[in-house]
Amino acid sequence: MNDFFDQHECQPSDLREAGLLAQLPQLIAAAQRDCDYYRQSLEGVVATEIDSRLSLASLPLLRKSDLIELQANKLPFGGVSANNGSLQRIFQSPGPIYDPQGQGDDFWRTGRAFYAAGFRSGDLVQNCLSYHLTPGGFILDAGAKACGCVVIPAGPGQTEQQLTVINDLKPQGYCGTPSFLNILRQKGDISSIKKALVTGEALPESLRQSFEKDSITVLQAYASADAGLIAYESSAKAGLIVSEDILLEIVRPGTNEPVAEGDVGEIVITCFNPDYPLIRFATGDLSALLPGVSPCGRTNMRIKGWLGRADQTTKIKGMFVHPAQIAAVVKRHPDIDKARLVVTNNNHRDQMTLHITLRSEIAQFDLAAVGASVKAITKLNAEIKIASADSLANDGKVIDDQRDYT
């Protein structure tokens, strides 16, 4: 069992499926009893009848984008959390969306992703996701510690200070976004780092290969602040293996209907978390199921990886940016008529440019003030450009993601 985090990863697929489906009635009943949201959304549902994928597909979706409005009406979690739940922390992710952390050392279940990426007890790991308000840093921190690693809570940015830490302490591992690992590599000596678990943004194969030329093995984890680990890569690099303890569906965008194996659709997950039960939670991310099991011996279903978004919400430098946030920027500056956020990627670094049109010609419009609003609302920096009045089409597009991951 040395190749696996635990015995669950290599159990027969039908045994895993039967075990998860057997838990569904209890999950539904508890959610109806303990969560104000599910008491209403699942009204009339007979919990004992939800015991198969077919019956599960009859339930309504809870979309990640819905959480913003639900929480605005009922803080902090829109009634989705259990009234009797026991929490350690409350985070705020962009949106804003409040995210709970329940009890347990590896609440988000990311330990198996680190183990599959080669992290072992005693490894020193530089964690470069943010610990400030958002849960990203804590999600990776807990997973690394579940493998017995020692964590340097570095957070993002401050490149020179990070390089000093790497030079002094010689960590063997890195976790964070692939783009920041690339920045560190370009700016200094990170030769002590031999393994990396990356998340928060796409990993182009060209970038992975360039890391491997520098003797850094890089594998991916797909996780969310709401649900924790959803899928992860193993050394086989043959798709992302679905995490244990969740049921994953791929549905046709805009519907709740599962698609055929191999078809691209929206990732929908059901998590068996008593404090924050997510039942048919639509992530907004696109992927497709792969046939068969991984060559590494892990037997759970696999997905192709991240294939885009089902809506205009996009992830930039590990942070979600929503169309509503761009609308909030415009609301702060009455002279702005239209705005469109264009996302590009230069040398594996995400860049945001907010193109705006003005209601009337203004001699000295304060672009810096708009940039400060973008930073305050999205937690990210953007270049602000004034566009001609007719250059932004009236097509409803607020976020234009022009990144090419091929």
User: In this predicted structure, which of 22-31, 128-137, 256-265, 376-385 has the lowest mean pLDDT?
Assistant: 256-265
Question: Comparing 189 with 326, which gets the higher pLDDT?
Answer: 189
- Distances 235 to 163, 173, 175, 176, 367 between C-alpha atoms, Å: 27, 15, 16, 18, 47
Amino acid present at 118: G
Question: Residue 1: its pLDDT value, please?
Answer: 44
Q: What angle do CA 118, 133, 156 make, to 5 degrees?
A: 50
Q: Write down the pLDDT at residue 394.
A: 65
- State yes or no: pLDDT of 357 exceeds 60: yes
Angstrom distance (rounded) from CA 188 to CA 171: 14
Average pLDDT over residues 150-159: 96
Pairing of strands 124-127, 150-153: parallel
Sequence-distant (6+) residues with CB within 8 A of 401 are 308, 309, 314, 343
- For helices 178-187 and 205-213, the axis angle rounded to 10 degrees is 40
On the question of pLDDT at 311 being above 90, the answer is no
pLDDT band at 363 (very low <50, low <70, confident <90, very high): confident
Average pLDDT over residues 353-370: 90
Q: What is the mean pLDDT of residues 311-340?
A: 85
Q: Which amino acid is at 328?
A: A
51 φ, ψ to 5°? -140, 20
CB of 267 within 8 A of CB of 283? yes
**What percentage of residues in the chain have a pLDDT greater than 90?**
75
Encode pLDDT of 256-310 as tens digits.
Answer: 788 889 888 899 999 999 999 999 999 989 899 999 999 999 999 999 988 877 7
Cα dihedral sign, 146-152-158-163: negative
Query: Which pLDDT belongs to residue 396?
Result: 59
20-45 confidence digits (pLDDT tens): 999 999 999 999 999 999 999 999 99
Omega within 30 of 0 (cis) for the link into 96: yes
The neighbouring-strand residues paired with 358 are: 336
Distance CA(160)–CA(147), nearest Å, equals 28
Residue 375, pLDDT above cutoff 60: yes
**Is the CB of residue 366 less than 8 Å from the CB of residue 335?**
no
Q: Do 244 and 269 meet the contact criterion of CB atoms below 8 Å apart?
A: no
Q: Is the link from the previous residue into 76 a cis peptide, with omega within 30 of 0?
A: yes
What one-character-per-residue DSSP string does 273-340 give?
Answer: -SSS-EEEEEEEEEE-EESS--TTS--S-EE-----BSSS-EEETTEEE-HHHHHHHHHH-TTEEEEE
C-alpha span between 282 and 198 (Å, rounded): 23
Token match 């791929």: residue?
A: 250
Two structure tokens written together for 280:
């048919």
Domains detected in the chain: 7-310 (3.40.50.12780), 319-401 (3.30.300.30)
Distance CA 402, CA 406 (A): 12
DSSP lists the bridge partners of residue 240 as: 303
More confidently predicted of 265 and 372: 372
> What is the DSSP pairing of strand 319-321 with strand 302-303?
unpaired
Tokens of 347: 């040398």
Taking every pair of Cα atoms in the chain, the longest distance, rounded to a whole number of angstroms, is 69
pTM for the whole thing? 0.81
pLDDT band at 252 (very low <50, low <70, confident <90, very high): confident
Tell me the pLDDT of the chain averaged across its residues: 93
